[in-house]
């Protein structure tokens, strides 16, 4: 008699899906268990994604990163640059 084992393949999450799920978790739109069932994930990657998002948010607003991008970003209320 042979024994059959079911082998699950690991599901890799792409960045847009991780961001979407993490934002939903942070907004408390649904419980983590509900999000896990909705996206067919274990709750641990959802917790990890939210932590990663929060850690990344700190880097976005840090003074070092704002100095690097200050030349590329403009205020939404600034006037367009002239072509001259």
User: How high is the pLDDT of residue 44?
Assistant: 95
Split at pLDDT 50, 70, 90, the class of 26 is: very high
The token pair at 75 is 């205020």
Give the global pTM: 0.60
User: How high is the pLDDT of residue 60?
Assistant: 83
The token pair at 32 is 């983590």
In the three-class reduction of DSSP (H, G, I as helix; E, B as strand; rest coil), residue 9 is classed as coil
Ranges 13-17, 29-33, 61-65, 71-75, most confident? 29-33
The token pair at 27 is 């907004």
User: How high is the pLDDT of residue 12?
Assistant: 73
Cα(57)–Cα(78) distance, integer angstroms: 24
């Amino acid at each position: 008699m042979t024994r059959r084992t079911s082998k699950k393949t690991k599901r890799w999450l792409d960045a847009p899906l991780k961001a979407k799920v993490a934002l939903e978790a942070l907004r408390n739109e649904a419980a983590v268990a509900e999000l896990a069932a909705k996206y067919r994930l274990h709750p641990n990657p959802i917790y990890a994604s939210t932590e990663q998002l929060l850690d990344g948010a700190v880097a976005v607003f840090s003074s070092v990163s704002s100095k690097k991008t200050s030349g590329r970003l403009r205020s939404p209320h600034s006037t367009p640059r002239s072509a001259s």
